[in-house]
Amino acid sequence: MITVAELGLGQKGIIKEFSDSILPIKLLELGCLPGNTVEVVQVAPLNDPIYINVNGSHIAIRRSLAMQIEIDIQEDPTSK
Amino acid sequence: MSKSINVALIGNPNTGKTSVFNQLTGLKQKVGNYPGITVEKKQGSCKLPDGSKATILDLPGTYSLNTTSLDESVVVELLLNKNNKDFPDVAVVISDVENLKRNLLLFTQIKDLRIPTILVINMADRMSRKGISLDIEGMERQLDTKIALVSTRKGSGIDQIKSLIADYGSLSNSPNLDTSRIAPEYFDRLQKAFPDEDLYKLWMVITQDVNFMPIEKKRIKDATSFTTKSKEELKKLQHRETVLRYQFINSALKETYKVDLNAAKGLRASLDKILTHKVFGYLIFFAILLLIFQAIFDWSTYPMDFIDEQFAAAGEWIKNTLPPGVFTDLLAEGILAGIGGIVIFIPQIAFLFLFISLLEESGYMSRVVFLMDRLMRPFGLSGKSVVPLISGTACAIPAVMATRTIENWKERLITILVTPFTTCSARLPVYLILIALVIPEGSILGLSYQALTLMLLYLLGFGMAIFSASVLNKILKIRSRSLFMVEMPTYRLPLIKNVAYTVLEKTKSFVFGAGKIILAISIILWFLGSNGHSQDFKNAEEIVNQRIDTEGLSPYSQNYIQNNINAHITNIKGEATDGSRLPDPRISEDSLKVLTAQLMERARNQEIASYKLEHSYIGYAGKAIEPIVKPLGYDWKIGIAVLTSFAAREVFVGTLATIYSVGSDEEETIKNRMAAELDETGKQPLFNLASGISLMLFYAFAMQCMSTLAIVKRETNSWRWPMIQLAFMSVFAYLVALTAFQILN
C-alpha cells in the first residue's frame, strides 16, 4: 500500500478509491477525492508536515493524515 | 421602502471576503460578538443603486456547511433559522478565481438550502497571469445563478454586486443538487416522515450538531416512523454527498472554466522554495521575528514616551485647574492614570498587529505554521501556536484570542495556558528599573551585564512557556481528535486598507476589552490608597508636620534637597565663570532661598502622601501580607506594589513611586529613591542582588494580570482554567523567588 506519505518532493500520485469512513470530510471538501492527482510540493524538516497540491488546493497536512491517503504513483516523465 | 435587505457574505477562507465586505460597507461597520459565544460578528450597511439599503453580515470563513468549529456553526445556524433577525434575504458567496472548483462546493450547499444566492468570483485581476478564461454566461446557466466578476485589488465589480443584491428577487432559488440522490431509499423514508419539510434542510439537521428552528433535532430523533443511521453510516453519506457535488461542479465548469497551463506563471513555486526551505526558511522567519521585536521594543518607544508625557501633563493640568477635592483627585489619579495605563500600550499592540496582519495577508503566516508545526508538537503545541506566542511578547490578551485558529482543543488549551509566561510588554518597565538597580554595569565580550540579564529574562519566559506546555501535554487527559490542516494560499501583496482595518479593529478590541478592567482596578486602587479608617490616616498632615518640626525631614529628603541645592550652586558658579551672567551675589542668594523653600515644601507634601498611603486601606493590606513576602526579601512597601500590580504588572513602578513619595513617574527619580531605600536593619540597601533577582523572577512567572484571566475565562468558557492558571503560576513564581532569594542572600 502506497500513501501520500511515501511520495518524494515533486512526485505525483493519483488518489485511489478509499473506504468511506477513513478520511475526515474536511479533506474531501478540499478536493482529496478518488481519481484526483496529489503532488508533494514541500516537506518540512523531520518529514512532517507535508505540503501538497491536490486538485489545485494547496494544503499542508500532518504525516499521520498523509499516511491514510492511498495512491497510485504517477510517473512524471519530465522529472528525473 | 424602509426595510433593508439582509445580505450574508459567505466564503472559504482566503477568498478576499473581508476585502469585499470592506469595499461594500466602507467605514460603516460594527464588530460585536454572537450572543454567548466568542465568534466575532461583523455587520455593516451599504446603499444600493436603486436607493434602498442593505445590511451586510460578514460570516466567518468556512469550507463547507459541514461544521467542525464554533465559527462554522454560526454560519449553519443562521442559514437554517428563518426566525433569526439576521436571516439573509440573499446570500453572496465569495470565491477565488484560482480555486473556483473548491469554492463552488460551499456555493452549491447554500443554494440547496433554497436561499437566493449570488456568486462573486474575486481576484479577477489574476486571471490573465494564471491563464484562466471564463464563460460567465455559460456558468450562470449551469449554476443557475447570477455572477459578479470582481477584483477587490482594483476595486472593480463592486457596483455589480450591489445591483445584483438590489435585484435579488429575480434570482432562482431552486437547488443545484437533488438531495435524494445521495441515498434514494433513505431520503425517501425521511421525506415520508416529514412531508412538509425540505429534504436538504432535514439532512443538515441530522448531520450537523447545531440547534435551530423550526425543525428541532429532537423531533427527528423522536420520529417513530423514521430511524436515523449510525454515525459511521452518516459519515459515509456525507462523503457521497461531497463526491456528487464535485461531479456536478466538474460538469458545470467543463466548458465554462479553462486554464491554459502554458500561460500560467507562478510566483508560488519559487517563493515557496525559499520561504519553506529547510535552512533559509528558518533564517528568514528568524529575521522577521527580530524585525517585529525591534518594532515593538524600539520604534514604539517614541510614541509611548509621547503618550506618557501627554498624560502626565494632562494630570498636572487637571490638578492645577480644577478646584482641589476628592473629585479632582479621582479624575487625575484614578481615572486619568487608569486610561493612561491602557493608552500607553497602543503603539506596541498596533505595531504587533500591523506585522501579523501583513504576514497573514501576504500568505506567509501559513508557511510559518508549516515550518514550525513539527518542532512545536513534542510540547503539545501546534504550528498554529507560533502566532499566539509571538503576540504574547506584546500582550497576552490578543495572544489568547489568536489561539482560535487552532482546531485541536488540547493544543489550543495548552497554548492559552502557557502564553502568559512569554514576556509581555507590561513586564518591561518592572524589569528595566530592577535591572538598573541591582545588576552592575560592566560587560562581558562586548555585551553589557544589564542587556544580558534582560535577554535572559526573555528567554526564561519563552523557555518556561515551552516547558510548562510539555508538562501540561503529559498531564492533561483530553482526547481530541481533530484535523490539522493549513491552507497555503497564493502569495499576494497585502491590501493596505485591509491591514489598516485589522490594526484598527484589534487595537480597539484591546482598548475596550482590557481597558475596562485596568480602568476599574486603577479606580479601586486609587480609592483604597487614598482612604483609610484609622486616626493615623485622618490626622496624617498634623502627625507628619509635627514630626518634621521636631525631627526634621527624613534623611532621604534632606539628601535630595542638599543635592539639588549643590547642583544649583554649581550651575550658578559655572555661569559666573564662563561669563554668561554677571555674578550678583544677591540674586544668587535669593534664587537659592526660593529653591530651598520650594524643595522643602515638596518634600513635606511627599512625606505626608507617603504617610497617608502607609495608613490607608492598602497600606494595611501591605503590612498584613508582609510575613508572606518577607522570605522573598520584600518589605511591606514592595508587598503593596506586588499586590496592586495584580491588576497589571506595570502598576508596580507607579505604586512604588507613590509609596516612596517621589511624586512623579520619572524613572530616574524612582530609581534613585529605590537605591536609597534601606532594609529593616537600616544598614544595607533593600534592593540588592538577592531581592532584585527574586522580584524579577517573581514577575517573570506570576500571573499578574486581571485582564488576561478575564480573557482566558472568555475563551475557555469556564472559570476553571483561569483559576488553575492563576494558582499554578502564582505558587510557582513564589517558590522560584523564594529559592532565588534564600540562595543569593
Give tens-digit pLDDT for B53-104: 999 999 988 999 988 777 788 888 888 888 888 899 999 999 999 889 999 9
- If contacts are CB pairs under 8 Å, which of residues 263-292 in chain B contact chain A? 268-269, 272-273, 276, 278
Rounded to 5°, the CA angle B60-B61-B66 comes to 100
DSSP letters spanning B707-734: HHHHHHHHHHTSSHHHHHHHHHHHHHHH
What's the grid cell of residue B125? 485581476
The answer to the question of residue B177 being in a domain is: yes
In a domain, residue B340? The reply is no
Nearest to B242 among A21, A28, A56 (CB): A28
| Percent residues over pLDDT 90 in chain B | 30
Asked whether residue B365 is domain-assigned, the answer is no
Instruction: Please check whether residue B649 lies inside any domain of the structure.
Output: no
**Could you tell me the residue range of the domain that residue B207 belongs to?**
1-265
Domain limits for position A36: 4-74
Q: Out of A35-49, B508-522, B600-614, which region has the weakest mean confidence (pLDDT)?
A: B508-522
Average pLDDT, chain B: 84
Domain with residue A12: its CATH number is 2.30.30.90
Residue B15 belongs to some domain of the structure? yes
pLDDT for B84 equals: 83
Residue B731 placed within a domain: no
What pLDDT does B119 receive? 96
Query: What would the mean pLDDT of A28-54 be, rounded to a whole number?
Result: 90
* Beta strand pairing call for B443-444 and B257-259: unpaired
- List, for residues B153-187, the tens digit of each pLDDT value: 888 999 999 999 999 999 988 889 888 888 888 88
Residue A53 lies inside a defined structural domain of this protein: yes
* Top-confidence residue, B692 or B236: B692
pLDDT of residue B1: 45
The answer, yes or no, to whether residue B469 has pLDDT greater than 60, is yes
Write down the pLDDT at residue A32: 87
* B266 vs B435 pLDDT, higher one: B435
- Whether B484 and A49 lie within 8 Å, measured CB to CB: yes
Residue B264 has pLDDT above 70, yes or no: no
Listed in sequence order, the residues at least 6 apart from B652 whose beta carbon sits closer than 8 Å to its beta carbon are B429, B430, B641, B642, B644, B645, B699
CB-CB under 8 Å, A51 with B484: no
A10 CB within 8 Å of a chain B CB: no
Q: Which whole number is the average pLDDT over B656-670? A: 63
A76 lies within 8 A of chain B by CB: no
Task: Please give the residue of chain A at the shortest CA–CA distance from B259.
Answer: A56
Provide the pLDDT confidence category of residue B333 given band limits of 50, 70 and 90. Answer: confident
Q: Is A79 inside a domain boundary?
A: no
Digit-coded pLDDT (tens) for A21-37? 567 788 888 888 888 89
Q: Is B258 helix (H, G, I), strand (E, B) or coil?
A: strand
Task: Answer whether A69's CB lies under 8 Å from A50's CB.
Answer: no
Helix or strand or coil: residue A80? coil
8 A C-beta contact, residue B40 and residue B20: no
> Chains A, B: CB contacts under 8 A, how many?
108
Average pLDDT value for residue range B388-416: 87
pLDDT for residue B37: 62
Mean pLDDT of B667-672: 68
Query: B526 falls in which pLDDT band (50, 70, 90)?
Result: confident
Structural domain includes residue A80: no
Q: Are B449 and B441 in contact (CB under 8 A)?
A: yes
Q: How many domains are contained in chain A?
A: 1
Does residue B577 lie in a domain region? no
B11-15, B143-147, B600-604 — which is least confidently predicted? B600-604
Query: What single-letter amino acid sits at B146?
Result: K
Residue B42 has pLDDT above 80, yes or no: yes
Which residue is associated with the grid cell 465569495?
A: B94
How many angstroms separate the CA atoms of B586 and B400, rounded?
A: 65
Give the pLDDT confidence score for residue A80 in this predicted structure: 43
CA separation for the pair A55, A35 (Å, rounded): 10
Q: Looking at the domain assignment, is residue B626 inside a domain?
A: no
Mean pLDDT of B570-580: 69
Instruction: Read off the pLDDT of each residue in B584-607 and give the average, rounded to a whole number.
Output: 79
Instruction: Work out the pLDDT band at B10, boundaries 50, 70, 90.
Output: very high
Q: Which residue has the higher pLDDT, B497 or B579?
A: B497
Give which of A4, A37, A51, A58 to mutate to test B binding, by max B Cβ within 10 Å: A58
pLDDT at residue A19, rounded to an integer:
61
**What pLDDT score was predicted for residue B263?**
64
What pLDDT does B225 receive?
Answer: 54
pLDDT (average), residues B582-586: 64
Residues in chain B: 745
- In which band, very low, low, confident or very high, does the pLDDT at B721 lie, cut at 50, 70 and 90? very high
CA distances from B160 to B50, B107, B569, B660 (A): 12, 19, 78, 67
Q: How confident is the model at residue B558 (pLDDT cuts 50, 70, 90)?
A: confident
Q: What pLDDT, in 10s, does the model give residues B188-214?
A: 888 888 888 888 888 888 888 665 445
Q: Compute the nearest-CA separation of A14 from chain B (Å).
A: 16
Characterize the bridge pairing of strands A57-61 and B40-47: unpaired
Can you tell me the mean pLDDT for B592-608? 82
Q: What is the CATH number of the domain that holds B182?
A: 3.40.50.300
Report d(CA B412, CA B473) in Å as an integer.
11
> Mean pLDDT across the stretch B39-63?
89
> Chain A neighbours among B 483-502 (CB < 8 Å)?
483-490
Which of B488, B490, B491, B492 is best to mutate for the A interface (most A CBs within 10 A)? B488
Q: Is the pLDDT of residue B699 over 80?
A: yes
Q: In the predicted model, is pLDDT for residue A79 greater than 70?
A: no
**Helix locations, B115-230, DSSP H:** 127-130, 136-143, 158-166, 184-193, 199-207, 217-222
The stretch B728-739 carries a mean pLDDT of 95
pLDDT at residue B582 in the model: 59
Total tally of structural domains belonging to chain B: 1
Q: Are A25 and A13 in contact (CB under 8 A)?
A: no
- Encode pLDDT of B440-449 as tens digits: 888 888 778 8
Q: What is the mean pLDDT of residues A6-30?
A: 81
**Chain A CB within 8 Å of residue B366 CB:** yes
**Better-scored residue on pLDDT, B7 or B204:** B7
Question: Mean pLDDT lowest for which of A4-13, B60-69, B511-520?
Answer: B511-520
| Separation between Cα atoms, residue A23 and residue A17, nearest integer Å | 11
Is B227's pLDDT higher than 70?
Answer: no
What is the ipTM for the molecules in this complex?
Answer: 0.92
Does residue B599 or residue B727 have the better pLDDT?
Answer: B727
If pLDDT is split at 50, 70 and 90, which confidence band does B314 have? Answer: confident
On whether residue A48 sits in a domain, the answer given is yes
From chain B residues 53-92, the ones with a CB under 8 A of any chain A CB are 63-64, 66, 68
Q: How confident is the model at residue B228 (pLDDT cuts 50, 70, 90)?
A: low
Higher pLDDT, B682 or B314: B314
Q: What is the H or E stretch that residue B469 is in? A: helix B449-475
pLDDT the model gives residue B34: 67
Q: What is the pLDDT of residue B143?
A: 93
pLDDT number for residue B327 = 84
Which chain B residue has its CA at the smallest distance from A20's CA?
B236
Residue in the block written with cell 537659592: B592
Specify the DSSP element, H or E, that contains B30: strand B29-33
